[in-house]
């Protein structure tokens, strides 16, 4: 790589580090392996230092809300990043080796979806905040000692996904096709906001999430995941019988303009019917006014 393009890479790295320091302003949230790393790179870019500076290496401590755990994300930026892959590794004292391995596999494959030249540390952090909870779920069940050999356990997962809106015909088709192709049940509520619920075995739900989310759906997040260990086929755990599109009336008389808000009262009734009323507050941050309380 020529020194000119190397300098372009280092300028992008400095830019990304400045973004990270503004996102994590508290002392100790971003710990550089070498406290002079950025100064040395700036001196190299200005031409006052001739030797290539050491790589930027740092650890960011992320506080995950649900469950309340910390993840240390270790990051190394090769000199040619973002044109070559970033080296990332997430660690948590709350994960066993297998879970940590799976978490990092998920993170690496997500980072692999970025094009060369795209900065991706902030996206990796967002991915961990959105997705890591499913790797921590149900750890207690795995550790209950038992005298007899354990039957094979599967994880049944239900994900509640929130998007600012879902209108586009091709996106709606993609969601429905993924729901029908994979062995999952649930619904996709189109409109504003857009809500998707998907339930089934963990690997099917995760594949569904990956399929609809990539390559470029930015404003979407998994707000809540419910996970249950089962030895059966999971059919008795399903709250929905198929994967369907849910079309509710919009509030007001907007027709199909792009600013219509879904009738949340109707949506709450729908959730009650499917024993999922508790999710309403998680999705919208409002208590559901239940008549029987």
The C-alpha torsion from 47 through 48 and 51 to 52, rounded to 10°, is -50
Distance from C-alpha of 161 to C-alpha of 204, rounded to nearest angstrom: 15
| pTM: predicted TM-score of the whole model, two decimal places | 0.47
Say what the pLDDT of residue 50 is.
Answer: 83
Task: State the angle between helix axes of 37-46 and 3-23 in degrees (0 to 180), rounded to the nearest 10.
Answer: 140
Q: Which residue has the higher pLDDT, 2 or 274?
A: 274
The bridge status of strand 87-91 relative to strand 185-189 is: unpaired
Span 101-129, average pLDDT: 91
**pLDDT bracket for residue 43 (50, 70, 90):** very high
Query: Does residue 254 surpass a pLDDT of 60?
Result: no
What are the chain's domains?
A: 6-138 (3.10.110.10), 154-249+262-284 (3.30.70.100)
Distance from C-alpha of 85 to C-alpha of 83, rounded to nearest angstrom: 7
Percentage of the chain with pLDDT > 70? Answer: 86
Query: Does residue 3 surpass a pLDDT of 70?
Result: no
Query: Does residue 14 surpass a pLDDT of 90?
Result: yes
pLDDT in tens, 64-73: 877 788 899 9
pLDDT in tens, 174-213: 999 999 988 899 999 988 889 999 999 998 999 999 888 8
What is the pLDDT of the chain when averaged over all its residues?
Answer: 84
Query: Does residue 173 surpass a pLDDT of 80?
Result: yes
CB 95 within 8 A of CB 22: no
């Amino acid at each position: 790589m020529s020194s000119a393009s190397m300098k372009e890479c280092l300028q992008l790295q400095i830019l990304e580090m400045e973004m990270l320091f503004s996102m994590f302003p508290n002392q100790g949230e971003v710990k550089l392996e070498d406290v002079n790393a950025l100064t040395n790179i700036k001196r190299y870019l200005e031409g006052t230092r001739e030797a290539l500076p050491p790589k930027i290496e740092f650890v960011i401590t992320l506080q995950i809300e649900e469950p309340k755990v910390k993840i240390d994300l270790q990051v190394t930026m090769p000199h040619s990043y973002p044109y070559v892959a970033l080296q990332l590794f997430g660690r948590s004292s709350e994960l066993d080796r297998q879970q940590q391995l799976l978490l990092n596999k998920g993170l690496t494959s997500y980072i692999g979806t970025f094009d060369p030249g795209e900065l991706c540390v902030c996206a990796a952090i967002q991915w961990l905040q959105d997705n890591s909870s499913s790797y921590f779920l149900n750890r207690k069940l795995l550790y209950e000692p038992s005298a007899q050999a354990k039957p094979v356990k599967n994880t049944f997962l239900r994900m509640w996904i929130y998007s600012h809106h879902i209108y586009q015909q091709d996106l709606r088709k993609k969601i429905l096709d993924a729901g029908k192709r994979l062995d999952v049940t649930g619904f996709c509520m189109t409109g504003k906001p857009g809500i998707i619920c998907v339930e089934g075995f963990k690997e099917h739900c995760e594949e569904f999430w990956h399929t609809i989310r990539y390559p470029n759906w930015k404003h979407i997040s998994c707000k809540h995941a419910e996970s249950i260990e089962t030895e059966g086929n999971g059919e008795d755990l399903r709250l929905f019988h198929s994967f369907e599109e849910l079309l509710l009336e919009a509030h007001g008389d907007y027709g199909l303009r792009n600013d219509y808000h879904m009738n949340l009262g109707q949506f709450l009734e729908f959730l009650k019917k499917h024993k999922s009323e508790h999710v309403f507050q998680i999705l919208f941050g409002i208590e559901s006014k239940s008549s029987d309380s």
